Structure 1
Amino acid sequence: MLRQIVLLVVASVMLIACSEQTSGFKTFSEGQQALQTINNLLSTQEQQSEAASWPFSESYLQARHQAYQGLKTTTLDVSQQAQLNYLIIAERYPERYFVWPVQRDVISQARLVDDYSVNELANWLELVETQLIAAEQSNLKLNKIELTLLHNMVKSHLDNSDDSVQAALNKLNQYLTQYKPRTKLGLVGLANGKDWYQSKLNYFSGETKPPLTWLSEIQASLKQSQNADFVLLVSDSHAKPLVMNYFVESHQHTGLDWQLDYLDPLKSKRKLTKDEQYFWQVMMETDLGIHYHTWSEQQARVSLMKRLGVNQQQADWLIEDIVLYPAMSFIFIN
């Protein structure tokens, strides 16, 4: 009997090993394409063929995890390995509770795919609400900027949907109307938020330093700098982070993160002018202020307007970018 149990255990281990081996990718490009398929409802592209997984559904989380594990079997350069490690670490944190990333219009994207399903969209909208309720029970809440952006997105699709989707949207709209956001804008307001922010700082800066050290170094550099003249390029959308306006257009390197349209930020960034360096140092200071030092929206607004000479509307847009894309500004650290 013992011999049979041992044989069964060995057989199970071999099957698992074979399964893991066959799930690997041959090349980095193959793994990246798999992630693009998994994330296609979070895409900024206008045309999609079919929906692979609804964002942050159970099937999505499983498929994404398998893709990350599959990429481990490929030959990666230092930058690719760093990005993969960063994304794998992010799986530990509460992102999965916030099923609808407020940067992307998932409903409009879903309606572009060939196999668009009204019922599946309605079910996904119910998941959005269910996970937000579960998150509240774990003391995980949207901040007021995220809540406003999500609520506006929901309201933009009201009265323009099929019956089952309309019912789910109405229910979600009612829930968001009474939703009480967390008081702190930054990641520090979430459980394990400081650790999550540290992992982002480590990846985007390419160095492992605590936020207090970064703040001290950045503020020391700002004291030696003069106010800069620059053109602030803002839009009416946060679908793409502001850092992408400072990528090299002619020579971009592929990456793994849907938030960056699958470009490697550390390789794709361009050389900054002196004035642009000053601007991004101010953004880093504000980033640390919001996500680590619990700056209020008013504190961040006053600092940006004073440091950069921008108006209130521009400052608020920059704050939204920092809230939605924590630590990304640190790709421009000297």
Structure 2
Amino acid sequence: MLRQIVLLLVASVMLIACSEQTTKFNTVHEGQQELRNINNLLSNQNEHSKVTSWPFSESYLQARHLAYKGLQGTELTDSQQAQLNYLIIAERYPERYFVWPIQRDVISNARLQGDFSEQGLAAWLELVETRLIAAEQSNLKLNKIELTLLHNMVTAHLNNNDNHVQTALNKLNQYLTQYKPRTKLGLVGLANGKDWYQSKLNYFSGVTKPPLDWLSEIQLALKQPHSADFLLPLTDSHTKPLVMSYFTQEHQHDGFDWQLEFIDPLKNKRELSEGEQYFWQVMMETDVGIHYHTWSEQQARVNLMKRLGVDQQQADWLIEDIVLYPAMSFIFVN
């Protein structure tokens, strides 16, 4: 019996090893296209294609991991290698517990696909709830902003569904109604959250520096004379991070992150005016405040309204952007 168990374990290891060798790309473009396919339900492009895998399902996580491994065997630029390293590091953090990325309307995207299945959607909605329950047991919780946005997304889809989907949505809605969010808005409120935030800071800034050092540097810069002349291109949603409004229009450099529309942010950021530089310095200060110093929503709101002269509604929109896209403001640190 023991011999059989050992043989089964050896066979399993060999199968895993073989499967990890199956995803090979001849070019970076092939790898990027594979990532687009895997993340098609998280796309803003509304392309009609097949449902490759439901977000953060086991098949999704495995396919994405193999795509990352395959890209490591291609010729990457330094900037592409940095982004790939960042995404691979992110695999070890708790993102996989939060199956429904609240920046994207997965249900609407799924219904556009050629092989859409009501049963598949219902199973995925059950996975959303199952993983959130497992996360709670590991002391990983949504914050109140994330909870509100997710709950609003669920309630927006409650009617006119197949019975299986309706049942899953009702059940998820009931669960979210009694859900108790974590008290801290930022990543620091999650297990390993400080390390996760540090990895994001390292990538988006291009420099390895502790949050406290960043905060001191930013606040020193904010003491200097500055222009506060800037325009806020706010929208009704957060499907794209605000930083993308400050990218060049050409978008010629390919990346690997669905949150950034598969664009390389470090190669696509444009030159900022003095007023825009000041704006992003304030955003960086608030980012560190929320994600590292456990600022409350009120503290962040007061800081943004005081520094930028924005109203409460604008400040709250900026806070949501910082919560949903941690450390991305540090793209503009240089």
Q: What's the TM-score, normalizing by structure 1?
A: 0.95
* SS of equivalent residue, structure 1 residue 252: coil
How many angstroms does 1:211 deviate by? 0.2
Unaligned runs of at least 5 residues, structure 2: 1-8
| Aligned-partner residue type, residue 44 of structure 1 | N
Q: Matches of residues 248-287 of structure 1 in structure 2 within 5 Å?
A: 248-287=248-287
Classify 1:97/1:10 alpha carbon distance in 2 versus 1 (closer, same or farther; 3 Å): closer
Residue 47 of structure 1, CA deviation: 2.3
SS of alignment partner, residue 331 of structure 2: helix
Output the amino acid matched with 1:327: A
- Provide the C-alpha distance between the structure 2 equivalents of 1:13 and 1:172, rounded to a whole number of angstroms: 36
CA contact (8 A) 1:227 1:308 kept: no
Distance 2:216 2:225 in 1: 15
Q: Superposed, which structure 2 residues align to 1:1-334 within 5 Å?
A: 20-334=20-334
What CA distance in whole angstroms lies between the structure 1 residues aligned with 2:120 and 2:81? 35
Counterpart-to-counterpart distance in 1, 2:12 and 2:93: 31
Match of 2:6 in 1: none
Residue 22 of structure 1, CA deviation: 4.0
- Pair 18,158 (structure 1): closer, same or farther in 2 beyond 3 Å: closer
Residue 21 to residue 167, structure 1, CA distance change in 2 (3 Å): closer
- CA drift at 1:17: 6.6
Could you tell me how far apart the structure 2 residues matched to 1:209 and 1:81 are?
20
Cα deviation code 1:139-190 (max 9, x no counterpart): 0000000000000000000112111101100000000000000000000000
Distance change (3 Å), C-alpha of 1:73 and 1:143: same
* Alpha-carbon spacing, 1:17–1:168, altered in 2? closer, same or farther (3 Å): closer
Give the RMSD, CA atoms, in angstroms. Answer: 1.8
Residue 10 to residue 174, structure 1, CA distance change in 2 (3 Å): closer
Deviation at 1:12, TM superposition (A): 10
So what's the TM-score if we normalise by structure 2?
0.95
Q: Aligned pair in 2 of structure 1 residues 17, 329: CA closer, same or farther (>3 Å)?
A: same
Find the aligned partners of 2:155 and 2:130 in 1 and give their Cα distance.
18
Partner of 2:4: none
Return the alpha-carbon distance in structure 1 between the equivalents of residues 255 and 217 of structure 2. Answer: 29
Residues 1:171 and 1:77: Cα distance change in structure 2 (over 3 Å): same
Give how far 1:24 is off.
Answer: 1.7
User: 1:225·1:278 contact (CA, 8 Å) conserved in 2?
Assistant: no
Q: 1:251/1:124 Cα in 2 relative to 1: closer, same or farther (>3 Å)?
A: closer
Q: Distance in 1 between matches of 2:274 and 2:166?
A: 51
Residue 26 (structure 1) shift = 1.0
**2 CA distance for matches of 1:272 and 1:296?**
29
Q: 1:309 to 1:110 in 2, by over 3 A?
A: same
CA distance in 1, matches of 2:290, 2:314: 17
Query: For 2:106 and 2:244, how far apart are their aligned partners in 1?
Result: 21
The one-letter code matched in structure 2 to 1:79 is S
In the alignment, is the contact (CA less than 8 A) between 1:31 and 1:70 conserved in 2?
A: yes
Is the Cα contact below 8 Å between 1:227 and 1:307 reproduced in 2? no
Identical aligned residues as a percent: 79
- Alpha carbons of structure 1 residues 212 and 161: separation in structure 2 relative to 1, 3 Å: same
2:55–2:100: 8 Å Cα contact kept in structure 1? yes
Secondary structure at the counterpart of residue 56 of structure 1: coil
Q: For each residue in 1:202-222, what CA deviation from the matched residue of structure 2 results, as whole angstroms up to 9, or x when unmatched?
A: 000000000000000000000
Contact 2:226/2:274 (<8 A) preserved: no
- Give 1:23 shift: 1.9
How far does the alpha carbon of each residue in 1:45-99 deviate from its partner, in whole angstroms, 9 at most, with x for none? 1222110000000000000000000101001110000000000000000000000
Aligned positions, number: 327
Verify the 8 A CA contact 2:35 2:64 in the aligned structure 1.
Answer: yes
